[in-house]
Amino acid sequence: MYFSSKRDFLLSIILWICALALIILPIFFPDSGVWMTPEFLNKQWIKIVILIPIGLGILWIWFKTGYFIEHDVLKIQFGPVKKKIRIEDIYSIREAKNPFSAFALSMDKLEINYRGYKTVSISPKNKKEFIDTLLTVNPNIIIETY
C-alpha cells in the first residue's frame, strides 16, 4: 500500500524556488548571482553541469517522496534515497514537529523508533490509516501521544 508524503505550503515554496533558481539562472542569466571566482571555473557550461543536477535532485525529492507498506516491510523513498525497515522491528511511533532533516516534506511528522535506538521521521498524508496499516502487521507497536 502506498502513502504519499504530506507537503507543507512554506516548504513547498522554498523547494520550488531553489529548484527553479538552480535550473533557470545558470542557463538564462549566467552573469547573475555569486558564482565561482577562479577563472577556469567561471565558464557557463561548468555552472550548468554543477547547478542543474542539484535543482533536478530537489525536484526528484518533491515528486518521489512516499512510503510503501508491502507485506512486512516499510519502504521509504525520499527522492533518490531509499530505506527499508522491517515492520516487526518497529517498537513505537509518536507524533513529532521536528524541523530538522527527515524523509518528509512536512513539519507534521511521525517519528518511528525501531531496532534498538534507531529513529526515522516521515510525514504520511493520512497518518491514522498509515498507523492502522502498520498495526495490522505488528500489533505490538506502542503509539505514543503527546
DSSP string, 56-95: HHHHHHHHTEEEEEETTEEEEEETTEEEEEEGGGEEEEEE
- Residue 36 scores a pLDDT above 60: no
- Residue 145 scores a pLDDT above 90: no
29 is a domain residue: yes
Enclosing domain of residue 7: 2-63
- Number of domains comprising the chain: 1
134 is a domain residue: no
Tens of pLDDT, residues 110-133: 999 999 889 999 999 999 999 999
Task: Say which DSSP state 115 is in.
Answer: T
53 is a domain residue: yes
Tens of pLDDT, residues 55-76: 999 999 999 999 999 989 999 9
**Cβ pair 80, 103 in contact under 8 A:** no
Question: How far from the centroid of its chain's Cα atoms is residue 107's Cα?
Answer: 11
96 is a domain residue: no
**Helix spans in the chain (H):** 9-28, 44-63, 127-137
123 is a domain residue: no
22 is a domain residue: yes
